[in-house]
Amino acid sequence: MTKVGEGPMLAKLESEIPRGPGWTYEPKWDGFRTIVTVGDRITLESRGDRPMNRFFPELVAMLEERKDGPFVADGEIVLVRPGALSFDELQLRLHPAASRVRMLSREIPATLILFDLLEVDGEDLTTAPLADRRERLAKLCADLTVGQAPQDLDDLDPGPDLLLTPWTEDLDTAREWFADEAGLGQDGIIAKRADQPYLRGARGWVKVKHRKTADCVVGGYRVAKNDDGVGSLLLGLYDDEGNLHYVGHTSSFKTKERRELRDRLRPLEGDGGFGGMRAPGGQSRWSAGKDTAWVSLRPELACEVAFDRIQSGRMRHSATFLRWREDRDPRSCTWAQLGESPPDWSWAEPD
């Protein structure tokens, strides 16, 4: 069976749902992106090629029971709660203790939702158009007695479960999904071209979310004014050459969280961070009278933030911290996820 080594196909962020002939639409699921390989053994791999089997034993067992011939599929692991998907509780599953994982797999079992098929019975489907891959995926799911995810999250049963994502060619239906934040459009819409092959590692799809968000690397932090914890996290994105550039900060933390953050970040203090690229240090006409000192961190943590807009290569205002992305390789947090070309960093002023 072919190893999917270049990573999954990705999506770029846009502000509006694309329209016109050839566009199709799916719900954007709020979970862990996962490549599923079923063959002599079953493997679940994150978008950064990290093994996920040990964190979701209930899904591995379910696939063992239903497998019918080898295949490689693309999907999302989610955690279903009444009328909602809980990413925070899904994060709890990434625990180092096997006993804890086993307990959580019983208490809050996960659901795997499939939306693409890359290989079946040894046949590579990545060069086939999406419409053909969907047809083959629907047939595979029928053979595996996999049902389609309902359009109302209230009808989505708790896991463990294996489901097929719905899709549509109708723009009005996609807009209805997007508008229903309590249903299929809870995390937005993914738009895909029906004739497009599966482009591993490329941002060939389009994602439209209810708010602008980005997964950023934590490259450093500033200490709170009273020296009581972290004042702000300093955020970075990688360019095409693998350089980490400062793009903004987030300071939306309560007093207790600021103290806990400093304890969490202290082991990561040291060289690394922004590595001489565009960094948050130094004085500029924007920082007169401000304390610009900051602590560099090894770039080993990623987090998701919401922001207003990008201007001159940085987030115009302080970003809002949403959640840690422990499932994501920080090296994959690139400028490309924003759906636009990076700026000319050489002239952009430091913060």
Mean pLDDT computed over 251-258? 87
- Return the residue matching tokens 């599966």: 198
**Residue 209 vs residue 103, higher pLDDT:** 103
How confident is the model at residue 190, as a pLDDT? Answer: 96
User: How many angstroms separate the CA atoms of 192 and 189, rounded?
Assistant: 10
User: How many angstroms separate the CA atoms of 90 and 80, rounded?
Assistant: 9
Mean pLDDT computed over 295-303? 93
User: How many angstroms separate the CA atoms of 35 and 5, rounded?
Assistant: 10
User: How many angstroms separate the CA atoms of 40 and 70, rounded?
Assistant: 8
Q: 127-174: per-residue pLDDT in tens?
A: 999 999 999 999 999 999 898 988 777 888 888 999 999 999 999 999
How far, CA to CA in Å, does 77 sit from each of 32, 143, 160? 5, 21, 10
- Give the closest residue to 72 by CA, choosing from 110, 112, 121: 121
How confident is the model at residue 291, as a pLDDT? Answer: 47
> H/E/C letters for each residue in 24-47?
EEEECCCCEEEEEEECCCEEEEEC
Residue 284: which pLDDT band, with cuts at 50, 70 and 90? very low
Q: 83-124: per-residue pLDDT in tens?
A: 788 888 898 999 889 999 999 999 999 999 999 999 999 999
Q: In which element (H, E) is residue 106 found?
A: helix 98-107
Mean pLDDT computed over 193-222? 92
Spatial neighbors of 268 by CB under 8 A, at least 6 apart, are 297, 298, 300, 301
Q: What is the mean pLDDT of the chain?
A: 86
Q: 314-336: per-residue pLDDT in tens?
A: 887 789 999 999 888 999 999 88
Q: Is the pTM of this model over 0.85?
A: no
User: How many angstroms separate the CA atoms of 31 and 40, rounded?
Assistant: 27
Is residue 69's pLDDT more than 90? no
Spatial neighbors of 223 by CB under 8 A, at least 6 apart, are 229, 230, 231, 262, 293, 295
Catalytic residue annotation = 28
User: How many angstroms separate the CA atoms of 149 and 157, rounded?
Assistant: 9
Is residue 253's pLDDT more than 70? yes
How confident is the model at residue 277, as a pLDDT? Answer: 63
Domains, the chain, with CATH or none: 10-208 (3.30.470.30), 213-338 (2.40.50.140)
User: How many angstroms separate the CA atoms of 63 and 254, rounded?
Assistant: 42
Spatial neighbors of 180 by CB under 8 A, at least 6 apart, are 186
Percent of the chain whose predicted confidence (pLDDT) is above 90: 54
Q: CA-based angle 298:269:100, to the nearest 5?
A: 75
